[in-house]
Structures are given as structure tokens and as C-alpha cells.
Amino acid sequence: MKHIIAVLLENEAGALSRVVGLFSARGYNIESLTVAPTEDPSLSRMTIQTHGSDEVIEQITKHLNRLIEVVKVVDLTEGAYTERELMMVKVRAVGKEREEMKRMVDIFRGRIIDVTDKSYTIELTGDQAKNDAFLQAIERGAILETVRTGSSGIGRGERILRV
Amino acid sequence: MEITQAEIASAAAASAAKDQELRGAEILVKSLQAEGVKYIWGYPGGAVLHIYDAFYKQETIQHVLVRHEQAAVHAADGYARATGEVGVALVTSGPGVTNAITGIATAYMDSIPMVIITGQVPTAAIGLDAFQECDTVGITRPIVKHNFLVKDARDLAMTMKKAFHIARTGRPGPVVVDIPKDVSFNKVPYAGYPESVEMRSYNPVRKGHGGQIRKALQLLLAAKRPYIYTGGGVLLSNASAELRTLVDMLGYPCTNTLMGLGAYPASDPKFLGMLGMHGTLEANSAMQNCDVLLAVGARFDDRVIGNPKHFAQNERKIIHIDIDPSSISKRVKVDIPIVGDVKDVLTEMIAMIKESTVKPDADALGAWWDTIAGWRKRDCLKYDHGKNDVIKPQYVVETLWNMTKDADTYVTSDVGQHQMWAAQYYRFDEPRRWINSGGLGTMGVGIPYAMGIKLAKPDSEVYCITGEGSVQMCIQELSTCLQYNTPIKIVSLNNRYLGMVRQWQEMEYEGRYSHSYMDALPNFVKLAEAYGHVGMLIERAQDVEPALREARKLKDRTVFMDFRTDPTENVFPMVKAGKGITEMLLGSEDL
């Protein structure tokens, strides 16, 4: 089952590699990983998307908690949460394709952030399924380049992860 | 307001301390002194020369120069295991660190509190493939509890404070502090060693959850076939006394893992012997047939439970006390987890039993003990003494035990058949007396462990039970033993084979002894003599006892006893890899 784990950790050199090392050393899988400092520059927040049985996820959260730099760990998928991913896609856009592409971007509530006479660069945010759907909706041959950040997740309503 | 002379003096001293400028190396030494470090094992090199210079100028910490960095870490580890204090080792950058890796991993697997100080190339040279550079923090990351790279001498004191705090609290473990050469050289203001440390991200739990302990107790007191399974965590938490009280109050059977031997007295009738791959029939059968299992500071290692499917066949209820939540429900499903320090949890449990009106079910317990007595009757550690002059390895260990059981002794071992015979036939009645590498299974630890312990316990007898294979992995330390006058007694069970490998090849590979025969062994007697020690060759069974007696008499000398033992002897009982823990081979007749 898909799990989104949010981690608050000390913003120190090497902390990220400890988290990544833990996954590789114990044979766990990371599907996506986003990390950046929070409003408190001494803290980083990480969102890890992974797959695993309940037992594996339990071990992952326990091992994350064991790392000295980790302050808090929460499995967002245990409750209500929202997730977003930023995706940028550069597509070929010439002739009548340009109009069609523009329409698709509008339907998916994306934005064109760079234009040349042969291409568009499109910005899309949403959960990963929506971004996947966009890629499937447009003509595969038109895609020149794709870059995705991976999921960032946050609990809904009163669910707050902070020190 | 009156100001006394003393106040003026102390204010002056405080301001002098504030203004005091010290080199990083001096701050390091002051930190170690403040932590109460008495001994440090190490090996100098370019990146740690400032630190060595600072050691030269002080007298409170004794530095021991080993012959190989691996032994420095093992010796500090042995010291930590025997004393419960943090062991400290010091090595240089690059090859110094890589040589120390085996020692660090050994300590990590057995959760031993240690601080390993490593030299690093100057900060300006880091990342430039400088001479003797290696990414120490990167290399050691998977085998340490935590590690630090100190980039500024001003951070040194606080880093050391954190390192010792992390090493000895929670689930203990090794902490590496990597110090670049300029950091140990630079002069910075030093305001004294920090008195306390606070880390918002590191707050290990000590106290177990009261409700969980109460629930556990209800289950435990209602058990028909209870069993108490204890591991190295009991020793690490210094909770042997509490464990003894608990077991004695309940009258339940108890077993120790290889790492936990001595946590409960081996000569007590409630002790069923060690369990696991080479455990006793009664210890393993009780594990499989109990209805309530209390696991204390033990982590259900694969060498303990055998095949997990077979283990899970009997649906016993499991209570698991461990300071590390990630050890709970890792290999087996646990019904009542209790996260906390073993000593604290057992103390609370004992207090609750005293208050409780519920008593163990005496009838059920009686029947359970009868069942256990049936298993015991098999006398699974009985061995064939052989004919004529042949020396049986078990006999050597048993003789040593009989001779030293009332003395103040420590026994270290290496890894292999001799280790298992030592664990089976030397009966440990006290904690921290049996010192060996359980988790990583490191060959070569025996002599360094023994010399580390002997330094701390000069009046105790320290024996290293080893084999001709293992002992050669760190045999150069015989030189260190001479230099620092740490007279240890080496009991080598020499069967001319890598015995445990040979045993597995016999049982799993139809006797194809691929590279397990060690040809061209040195003359160990001459070798011991070359290092300035006493060597003894013992080839006949009747000479075993006199030899051990003589070696004991040579109190001030290191003695290497080369016992030529029966090369065909195997370790029984045995559970083959992948089998259930009660699918045991009890002797060669079962093969």
C-alpha cells in the first residue's frame, strides 16, 4: 500500500544521507522524496512516498525515529491529508498543436510558463495521479522533457506536525 | 554589599577560563578527562599528531598503543563490555579509519557504548583526494549509532559531550567523532566542558508504560507454561539483580542468549542453559512450547529462533521489553510491547508483583517443570570423553571452569566452535564476565578484548578461549600485551581446521572441506616466546589440568596454551540453518 511519511529533522549536513542510507541498507523502497527547510531554518521537512506492508511501514517509521537528527515522524496516510506535486513538462507545440495543447493545459488547470515558436513549458500542480493523467492525455510524442518534484504532503485540518 | 576574597578569586578564575585559548587537541583531551576516561586505545598518524602531542602533555589518561587499529577498537569495546563504561579509541585518517571499521561494526551490532575519535585531513583539503583522506562519516554511517564531522574547534567540546551522551544512553552504541587536522590545531576560546546537553531530536525513553507493564503482568501471572527469555540488553542496562529477583519471585524457567550469558546465574536450577542454534534441548523446547514468553532485552535473532515459520507454529503470547522500539515486532509478532530501559521496567514489574494478590498457578507450573525435567534428562551437553590421550575441546573448557569458578575471572572468546563450547561449558554466574562478538561474529576479537579487560581489571584472571584460526587474525597484539603488562591467558583449542566451517561443510556440503584446513600453522609456543611470553603445547588429555594449573600460577605472564584437540569434534546440540529450533541434532548419532 502507498504511504506518505512526513519527517521533521535537524537541518544539518548529512541528515538527508542518513535517511536515504536507512532505506537502502534495509532494502526499503523510496518512490519519491522531497525535502527543504521549514519556516524554522534549523528544521527541514521531508515527505517520503513509499510502498509496503503494515509491518514494513511500522519498521520504517521506527527506524526513522531512531535516527539522532530526526525530530518527528508521521505517516500522513493514517489520516486525512492533502498531497501536491509540482511537474514541469516541455512539449512540442507547432501549428495547430499549439491550440490543442493550450486547451489541455487549461482543462488540467496548468500554466504555460515558457514559450518558444516550437515549444511550451507547462507547470502543473496536483497529486501524482492528476499529473500522470495529464501526461496520458496529451500526445506522447509531443513530450520533450518532464521534471517532477515528487509528493509533498500535509495533514488536513487540525493535524499539525511541528516541534 | 560585601564581596569576599573567595568570590573575587572565583570570578577571576571564571573570567580567566573564559579568556583561555586552547588548541582543539587540548580541548579534546579536557573533554575526555571531564568524561572520566581513564584509558584510550589507539594508533598515531599524520592527521592526529596534534592530538597525540596533547596526550603527551597530560597524565590522567593512559594511552595504549596497539599494533593494528582493529585491535584498538576491539580493546576499547572489551573494556566497555566488562566495565559498563564508554570505551574510547583513537585512530588516524584514511587507513586508520578503514582498519577500525570491523571493530566499529562489531560494537554496533552488540550495542556497545563507545566513542571513536578519528583524524581527518585539514578542512581545506577535504574532498580533494588528499593523502590519507577518506569519507569517514560516509563510510561509518551504517555501522554507528551516530557520527560527527567537527568543522570548527569551537564546536569540539559540545560535540564530545553529545557523543558520550548518545553513546551511553538509550540503546547504547558506537559514536564516531571525525576531527580534521586544522580543527585539532586551531586555538579557540574555551569556557569549560559543557555540564549538560539538550538535543530536541534525541530523547530516549527510560520508563516503560505503566499500563502496558500491568497488562504484561496479568498475562505473565496467568501463564500455564511461562518462559523468561533474556538477552544482552539485561547486561547493558545493569539489570541482572532485578532479573534475578523477578525470576526467583515467580519461580519460572529462564534462559539467556549468547549475549546475555551471566545475566541469570548459570548454576541456578531455574536456568535452562543458553538457547538457539547451539542451545540446550530444554532451553529450545521450552521456547517452542511455552504459552507466555517474556522477552527481556533480547531481539529474536535468527540464531535464536531458527526458522520463523516453525517458531510461529505455536501461538504463544509474547511480552517484549526493549529500549529500542525498532527491535519490537521486527521478526516475530509481539502481543504486549514495552518500550523502556530493562532495569526501570523490571523494577516496576517487581513492585507490582509485590502488591498483587494474584499468584502464579502452582499446579500448572509444577506440571511445566515436570515437562522440562523430561527434556533435561536427555543431558544434551554430555559428550564422549574419547579414548586414550585425545583432548576433547569441551573437556578443556570444563576443566577451566572447574578450576576458576570461585575466582574473579573474565572469559573472552573469538568466533567459531571454541566460542560455542565456551558458551556451553563455562558456566557464567555473574554478568559482564563473558565477552564475545555475538552480532557480527568477528574473528580476532579475543586477544584485544582480553587485553582491554585486563588493563581495567588488573587483579582479575582474564582468559581468552580461541582457536588457531581466529587467534591469528589479531595475534600481533601479543606485542601490546607485553608492552603494557597485561598478562592474559590464551586457551587455544587447536584442531587444525576452521572448525565451524568444517562442521557446516560436513553437515551441509557432504564433507567437501573446501579451504577449511589450515596448513602451515605456526609453532605457537615459539611464537609466544618470540613475543616475550610463555608458550605451552598440550597434546594429551591428562596434561590439560596440569597445564591450566601451571598457567594460572604464572600470574604476571601472558601464557599461550596450544591445546591440540580432537579435529573431528563438532558442536552439539545444533539446529541447522533454516530448521526450527526444536529440530535439533543432539550428537553425531543424529547425523
Q: Are strands B292-296 and B317-322 parallel, antiparallel or unpaired?
A: parallel
What are the grid coordinates assigned to B383, written together? 559428550
Which of these, A143, A138, A109, lies nearest to A126 by C-alpha position?
A109
CB atoms within 10 A of CB B359: 10
Please list every residue in chain B whose beta carbon sits closer than 8 Å to the beta carbon of residue A9: 201
Query: Is it the case that residue B6 has pLDDT exceeding 80?
Result: no
Contact A120, A90 (CB under 8 A): yes
pLDDT digits (tens, 9 = 90+) for B544-571: 999 999 999 999 999 999 999 999 999 9
- Closest Cα in chain A to B330: A59
Least Cα separation, residue B10 to chain A (angstroms)? 36
Overall average pLDDT of the B199-216 stretch: 94
- Closest Cα in chain A to B163: A68
Grouping H, G, I as helix, E, B as strand and the rest as coil, residue B188 is strand
* Percent of chain B surpassing pLDDT 70: 97
Grouping H, G, I as helix, E, B as strand and the rest as coil, residue B60 is coil
- Closest Cα in chain A to B324: A66
- Give the contacts of B455 (CB within 8 A, at least 6 positions apart): B39, B62, B64, B75, B79, B484, B486
For chain A, say whether B405 makes contact (Cβ under 8 Å). Answer: no
- Closest Cα in chain B to A56: B330
Least Cα separation, residue B202 to chain A (angstroms)? 6
Which of these, B286, B297, B497, B449, lies nearest to B380 by C-alpha position?
B286
Whole-number Cα distances in Å, B116 to A9, A121, B26, B174, B550: 25, 52, 17, 7, 38
Instruction: Give B236's strand partners.
Output: none
Backbone Cα Rg of chain A: 19
Overall average pLDDT of the A37-56 stretch: 95
Least Cα separation, residue A5 to chain B (angstroms)? 17
Helix (H) or strand (E) holding A133: helix A128-137
Cα–Cα distance for residue pair B215/A62, rounded to 1 Å: 23
- Give the contacts of B416 (CB within 8 A, at least 6 positions apart): B443, B467, B469, B470, B498, B499, B500, B501
Instruction: Give B118's strand partners.
Output: B91, B178
Cα–Cα distance for residue pair B10/B27, rounded to 1 Å: 21
DSSP code of residue B270? T
Contact A137, A105 (CB under 8 A): no
- Give the contacts of B519 (CB within 8 A, at least 6 positions apart): none
Q: Which site among A7, A63, A68 would you substitute to test the B interface, given the most B Cβ atoms closer than 10 Å to its Cβ?
A: A68
Q: Which amino acid is at B454?
A: K
For chain A, say whether B329 makes contact (Cβ under 8 Å). Answer: yes
CB atoms within 10 A of CB B27: 25
* Percent of chain A surpassing pLDDT 70: 100
Helix (H) or strand (E) holding A100: helix A97-107
CB atoms within 10 A of CB A18: 20
Overall average pLDDT of the B324-336 stretch: 94
**Do the Cβ atoms of B201 and A55 come within 8 Å?**
no
**Do the Cβ atoms of B142 and A21 come within 8 Å?**
yes
Among A59-63, B12-16, B51-55, which is the least confidently predicted range? B12-16
Whole-number Cα distances in Å, A106 to A100, A119, A123, B174: 10, 16, 11, 57
Residue from the list B199, B201, B326 with its beta carbon closest to the beta carbon of A62 = B326
Contact B119, B94 (CB under 8 A): no
Question: Per-residue b/e over A23-32, b at no fewer than 16 CB within 10 Å?
Answer: beeeebebeb
Overall average pLDDT of the A21-49 stretch: 95
Instruction: Give B462's strand partners.
Output: B410
What are the grid coordinates assigned to A105, written together? 493545459
- Give the contacts of B354 (CB within 8 A, at least 6 positions apart): none
For chain A, say whether B142 makes contact (Cβ under 8 Å). Answer: yes
**Do the Cβ atoms of B326 and A63 come within 8 Å?**
yes
Contact B491, B563 (CB under 8 A): yes
For chain A, say whether B141 makes contact (Cβ under 8 Å). Answer: yes
Torsion of CA B491, B497, B503, B508, to 10 degrees: 160
Please list every residue in chain B whose beta carbon sits closer than 8 Å to the beta carbon of residue A69: 201
Q: Which amino acid is at B55?
A: F
pLDDT digits (tens, 9 = 90+) for B177-191: 999 999 999 999 999
Identify the pLDDT of residue A1: 87
- Where residue A76 falls among pLDDT bands split at 50, 70, 90? very high
Residues in B 341-400 with any Cβ partner in A closer than 8 A:
none
Least Cα separation, residue B347 to chain A (angstroms)? 25
Chain A residues whose C-beta is within 8 A of a chain B C-beta are: 9-10, 13-14, 17-18, 21, 25, 55, 58-59, 62-63, 65-66, 68-71, 163
- Give Cα B221 to chain centroid, integer Å: 32
Q: Is A78 exposed, middle or buried (0-12, 13-18, 19+ CB in 10 A)?
A: middle
Please list every residue in chain A whose beta carbon sits closer than 8 Å to the beta carbon of residue B166: 68
Grouping H, G, I as helix, E, B as strand and the rest as coil, residue B508 is helix
- Where residue A13 falls among pLDDT bands split at 50, 70, 90? confident
Identify the pLDDT of residue B1: 46
- Closest Cα in chain A to B172: A66
Overall average pLDDT of the B57-75 stretch: 98
Which of these, A157, A158, A7, lies nearest to A69 by C-alpha position?
A7
Instruction: Give B559's strand partners.
Output: B489, B534
For chain A, say whether B559 makes contact (Cβ under 8 Å). Answer: no
Please list every residue in chain A whose beta carbon sits closer than 8 Å to the beta carbon of residue B201: 9-10, 68-71
CB atoms within 10 A of CB A123: 14
Please list every residue in chain A whose beta carbon sits closer than 8 Å to the beta carbon of residue B325: 62, 65-66
For chain A, say whether B545 makes contact (Cβ under 8 Å). Answer: no
What is this model's ipTM? 0.91
The pTM assigned to this predicted structure is 0.94
Residues of B classed as catalytic: 69, 131-132, 181, 500
Identify the pLDDT of residue B555: 96
Cα–Cα distance for residue pair A82/A126, rounded to 1 Å: 10
Grouping H, G, I as helix, E, B as strand and the rest as coil, residue B94 is coil
- Where residue A115 falls among pLDDT bands split at 50, 70, 90? very high
Contact B217, B353 (CB under 8 A): yes
Identify the pLDDT of residue B388: 80
- Give the contacts of B313 (CB within 8 A, at least 6 positions apart): B580
Q: Which site among B326, B330, B332 would you substitute to test the A interface, given the most A Cβ atoms closer than 10 Å to its Cβ?
A: B326
Cα–Cα distance for residue pair B173/B143, rounded to 1 Å: 9
Overall average pLDDT of the A133-159 stretch: 95
Q: Which segments within B420-547 are labelled E, that is strand?
A: 434-435, 461-467, 489-494, 534-538
Residue from the list A25, A58, A68 with its beta carbon closest to the beta carbon of B329 = A58
pLDDT digits (tens, 9 = 90+) for B125-147: 999 999 999 999 999 999 999 99
Q: Is B406 exposed, middle or buried (0-12, 13-18, 19+ CB in 10 A)?
A: exposed
Residue from the list A10, A18, A62 with its beta carbon closest to the beta carbon of B141 = A18
Residue from the list A21, A25, A69 with its beta carbon closest to the beta carbon of B201 = A69
Query: Is it the case that residue B195 has pLDDT exceeding 80?
Result: yes
Overall average pLDDT of the B333-353 stretch: 97
